[in-house]
A and B are shown apart, each in its own frame.
Chain A
Amino acid sequence: MPATVITYIIRRLFAAVVLLFVVSAVTFAIFFLMPKLVGATPETLATRYVGRAATADTVRETAQRLGFYDPIYQQYWEWVKGIFAGADYSYGSGVEHCPAPCLGYSFRNHQPVWPDLLDRLPVTLSLAIGAAILWLLGGVAVGTISALRKGTIFDRAAMGVSLAGVSLPIFFTGLLSLSIFSYNLGWTAVGGSYTPFLDNPGEWAYDLLLPWITLALLFSAQYARLTRAGMLETMNEDFIRTARAKGLRERTVVVRHGLRGALTPILTIFGLDVGLLLGGAILTESAFSLQGLGKYAIDGITNYDLPKVMGVTILAAFFVVIANLVVDLLYAVVDPRVRAK
């Protein structure tokens, strides 16, 4: 690998670390600074974590336990310190050590966040990667055919279907497809099914088939439209005419010259989409009751469980950054013009 590429990667990784800190600080501020700006006190914040009949003493002690009396910068610093040095948390009858990287300790569950994230990551990874492969292949294929057969019934039908695919919300298509294919026809697994890949790859794919298809339907529509537009433009370029004039096979012209040129913007958006999905496909995981990162984040938000939300946010930001880096590096592979620069 050339030295310039290595320097580029190091520079990007450094920027990624800075970005992660900014994201974490902003998330922290949303939870603690903003309520303070509209008048919340440590006690009112603590009332979210005490029961219905808590006394003023209990509220104060809880605020103390959760560190709400400390200045916000100190609370944030404690959190950052935990990532590198670990932290200790009391659970009443004892103290639990949360080893580095300690991304916090759930206010509600009394569980360190990091192992929970690791536990849920395979579900989200499986969902995102499987669906991404489907939508990329499907979307690009349909878009390519539509471009090559512009104005035909296939083109119009495919673009019509993709418009519907983009428009239909996943909680609707998800529940509808579960109802039809899982409960009425019994073809696919019921909601909430998940088998780890290493336990049984066949079961893993069977369980995730419907979520994959539903999620891919949503995304592939967008990719089909993008590919079609890109292909229409590229196929009119001079170099395509030259390729054809050289006597290349149509397949080579379309795939090696046409598609390759149209793929760069697709790759950019693909990197972003996959990165975002790795941070949790909230709606899909909710519709299919999959215990992934998205569901974990929702649980954290509804219960004001800040450490959970912080954990998922950081992980999601990390994936977006990494996915973008990979995409940038892939540009060079896909588009020779970038390499030349």
Chain B
Amino acid sequence: MNSKRFITAVAAGAAVVMGLSACGGGSSSNGGGSGGSGGTNTPAFNAALNSVFNPSDKKGGTIRVANAGTWDSLDPGETYYGYSWNFIRLYTRSLVMFKPAAGNGSSELVPDLAESLGQPSDGGKTWTYKLRKGIKFEDGSAVTSKDVKYAVLRSTDKVTFPNGPAYFEGYLNLPAGYKGPFKTPDINTDSAIQTPDDQTIVFHLKQAFGGFDYFAQMPQTAPVPQAKDTGAKYKEHVVATGPYKFAKNEIDKGFTLVRNDQWDQSTDPNRKALPDEYDVSMNVNADDIDNRVINGDLDIDVTGTGVQPASLSRVLGDPALKANADNPSAARTWYTSINPTVPPLDNKACREAVEYATDRTAYQTAYGGAFSGGDIGTTLLPPQIPGATNFNLYPAGPDNKGDVDKAKQKLQECGQPNGFETNISYRAERPKEKAAAEALQQALQRAGIKLTLKAFPQGDYFSQFAGNPPYVKANKLGLVLNGWQADWPDGFGFLSQIVDSRVIRETGGSSNTSVRIPEVDKMLDDAIGETDKAKREADWGAIDKRVMEEAVVLPGVHAKALLVRPKKLTNVFVSQAFGQYDYLSLGVA
């Protein structure tokens, strides 16, 4: 071979290696709607927000699901993510559940394992549920009230199940020293939960709690057979009671759900169980998930928090893509805590100056604008929480860019006519929080309030820094970027952890850093014990207003997410309870 031929041969080889070669593969196709009663089949922006998109009762097929991260836990006793509570209803059944329905109905509680909602007695300190007959575990054994009791009790062991909510151990009348069935198996727990027969379960609380059905809807009430419980490893094979069971489960990689042949449709008025299978992948690149959902190669981005910034403009800018998107609200508020422990913010007028000087439009832009950020908020409670009222104690001018004159007047009032200096903290890993801190810095500068930005790692944000009262005071963190999502769409679920001064821990760790109002604590106690739903809901609105009057919270946005509707699925609708698509009713076209 002469040198020319040799070089040509090498060049050809190089072209193969360095060029982007390709080989055969399949192409995707679009699925069409199969029709059905009610709902709509016409793609339009927000078509699935309040009605069922592509209604159908067709069974069969596989729904492909991806998660950019990993589940906190697949164990019903431990999981605490909203999307997980939405999804877990496929393989477990709790006493009560959110109704799988479009529109306002989705925030309603309906009985699931139980025959009816809870029956309160003793002024709301005792709650009784009767279980439906004929419900079985995937191995064919009957579900009894003892399995529900065991499930709730095991979930109180927070060393074994650290991630789960802690409402039961907080409210149940558990005996002193009880640490769950693994560590204290011999302690009698009838003071907290009784099971007089296989179908009846009675919960005894330390104090009246009017909204106990919200506790009963938590996955922690999904039955667990004691003989099959493997503690922290139970998440590797949860024993199913729902229409699907685990066929394969590779922790942190993915799992497959297949039909549970022991699930009986006649015992379950809520589930349609249309697809044959759910195929779930974890740790999938978030941008790749968006691309695949848009192209129809994937059905569900399970976290349901909306598309990534890279896809946002693409979806909003293309009318065809936008017609296949929905923009639901989450029961979440992004806000800033104004710490009264940091002078001069111990003076209410100084805090009010911060409220007035804020450019609310810039705050909204920092979080991604109206579609992916959310609506400008003037209250702490998001609007979909029953009892939320729309009020604005600190009008920010006609353009929502802040009322600087009023802010200066307030500064005069609090003895700081030339403004003051303080720090604002945010989570270093969250660019939106940084942008919001910068927006506040610029806006408050107009009134003479000088902010210095302080970033902290999110893993230790509340435990060591922004939620650690001595640190906040010593390091003058006057303002703290914060955010909260309700555990369920109810005032208690939203407010109890962020406005109750008694949850503040001197050792750190609480999301409440600024609300220390004894009157609000009392209002919370009264509302919690109220069994009249309407009165209770009105109480939540009143608490919101009282907190805002003290100007210890600066609301930013009531969060929204831009979701891309799955191309090949039927029965797509947004559940208001979860602020994302309802995962229980979906089918494959």
Taking beta carbons and an 8 Å cutoff, which residues of A are in contact with B?
Answer: 40, 43-44, 47-56, 58, 61-62, 65, 91-94, 96, 109-111, 134-135, 137-138, 141-142, 144-145, 148-149, 154, 161, 175, 177-179, 181-192, 206, 209, 213, 216-217, 220, 249-251, 254, 286-289, 291, 295, 299, 302, 304
Contact = CB atoms under 8 A, between A and B. Distances in A.
Interface of B: 1-3, 6-7, 10-11, 13-14, 17-18, 20-28, 66, 69-70, 80, 157-167, 170, 182, 229-233, 251-253, 281, 283-285, 287-288, 291-292, 295, 297, 459-460, 463-464, 497, 505, 507-509, 511
A183 B26 contact: no
Nearest to B294: A183
B297 A190 contact: yes
Contacts of A144: 10
Contact of B17 (A149, A188, A216, A295): A216
B159 A58 contact: yes
A142 to B, nearest CB: 5
A110 B232 contact: yes
Nearest to A49: B162
Given A47-B508, A183-B292, A183-B297, 11 more contacts: A44-B508, A48-B463, A49-B162, A55-B158, A91-B230, A93-B160, A94-B231, A142-B18, A148-B7, A192-B288, A217-B20
Contacts of A52: 80, 165-166, 497, 511
Given A138-B17, A186-B27, A61 B159 contact: yes
Contacts of B22: 181, 185, 187-188, 209
A185 B505 CA distance: 56
Chain B CB within 10 Å — which of A43, A142, A220 has the most? A142
B229 A291 contact: no
Nearest to B464: A44
Chain B CB within 10 Å — which of A50, A51, A111, A249 has the most? A51
B28 A186 contact: yes
Chain B CB within 10 Å — which of A50, A141, A142 has the most? A141
A289 B232 contact: no
B159 A51 contact: no
7 contacts: A53-B166, A58-B159, A58-B162, A138-B14, A175-B291, A182-B25, A191-B285
A96 B497 CA distance: 36
Given A250-B6, A289-B281, A291-B283, A51 B166 contact: yes
A50 B160 CA distance: 10
B182 A40 contact: no
B497 A249 contact: no
B252 A299 contact: yes
A154 B11 contact: yes
B224 to A, nearest CB: 11
B460 to A, nearest CB: 7
Contacts of B25: 182, 186-189, 206
A299 B70 contact: yes
A167 B56 CA distance: 50
Nearest to A177: B20
A44 B457 CA distance: 13
Given A50-B158, A191-B284, A220 B291 contact: no
Contacts of B508: 44, 47
A206 to B, nearest CB: 6
Contact of A183 (B283, B295, B464): B295
Contact of B291 (A54, A110, A179): A179
Contacts of B230: 91-94
Contacts of B3: 148, 250-251, 254
Contacts of B13: 137-138, 141
Contacts of B11: 141, 145, 154
A199 B127 CA distance: 55
A287 B251 contact: no
A54 B80 CA distance: 13
Contacts of B170: 53
A145 B10 CA distance: 7
A213 B23 CA distance: 13
